[in-house]
Every structure is written in C-alpha cells, then in structure tokens.
Amino acid sequence: MSPSADTVPEERRQSSAAIELPLIAWRCSACGRTSFPARSRCSYCWSEDGAEVELPSEGEVHSFTTIHVGPPGTPLPYTVAYVDVDGVRIFARVEGEPRIGAHGRVHALAPTGEPPQFVVEVEREEASGDG
C-alpha cells in the first residue's frame, strides 16, 4: 500500500526527478523472518523459499544522529535514523524533529537512474496540557 497523493508533501509530488515507491521486503517461508530491502534469498537462513511483501509506511524511530560534517555541496546539518517498520529496521534521512519512539512515515524516493533514498517524516510531538 503506497501513500496517497495527500500524504506526500507537495514538493515531492511536483518533483519530476524522483518517484515514490512502495517499501518492498522479502519474507522467508522457511524461518518467517523479513529482510529489507527485498532479496532473492533469506538473509538469516539462506532459504530461497519466500516472497516479496509490501511493508506499511508507518514506523517508530529506534535511534537517530545528526551529521554536521560532509562532502562539499552537501546541505548540513542533516539527521538520519533507524526506523522500525513491521519487524525490520530501515535507515532513513529525517524530516522533522526526531525523538526515540516517535512515530513517522517512511517514503522510498527513487531519483531517475539512481537507487531509492529513504526519508522518514517524523510526527510532531503533541503539546502536553497540564490542566
């Protein structure tokens, strides 16, 4: 199930340089584990008995770090995170304010002729009202 047009930010929908792809993993029939991205055999037991499955885009931030140094031309700083999605951990660039345990939506964006890039949009933290 890929995100609908209203869940993808306007700047992504208008970009002709990248298309949004579903998150495709590979679920092993022998051991039941899921590998991401999809592979032709299980990463854990090496069985070739399995199938591609589409992952939900919703996940939870497991950990994150902010990068302050990079190659010339790279916009700095930027933040990356590991996001737990349906039993697998996806490495993605962060949009928003990351927090451990925060919920977010992972997008796979494929610039023309390049491998997909993963971006997680972290939900904003609700302000707590103390009454």
Q: For the whole model, what pTM was predicted?
A: 0.77
pLDDT tens per residue across all 131 residues of the chain: 334 444 445 544 444 568 999 999 999 999 999 999 999 999 999 999 999 999 999 999 999 999 999 999 989 999 999 999 999 999 999 999 999 999 999 999 998 888 889 999 998 876 555 54
Which tokens in the block code for residue 104?
């977010």
pLDDT digits (tens, 9 = 90+) for 86-124: 999 999 999 999 999 999 999 999 988 888 899 999 988
Cα–Cα distance for residue pair 113/131, rounded to 1 Å: 54
Name the fold adopted by 5-22+56-122: OB fold (Dihydrolipoamide Acetyltransferase, E2P) (2.40.50)
Q: 48: which residues sit within 8 A by CB, 6+ positions away? A: 40, 41, 42
Provide the 3-class DSSP secondary structure of residue 6: helix
Is residue 24 a contact partner of residue 54, using CB atoms and an 8 Å limit? yes
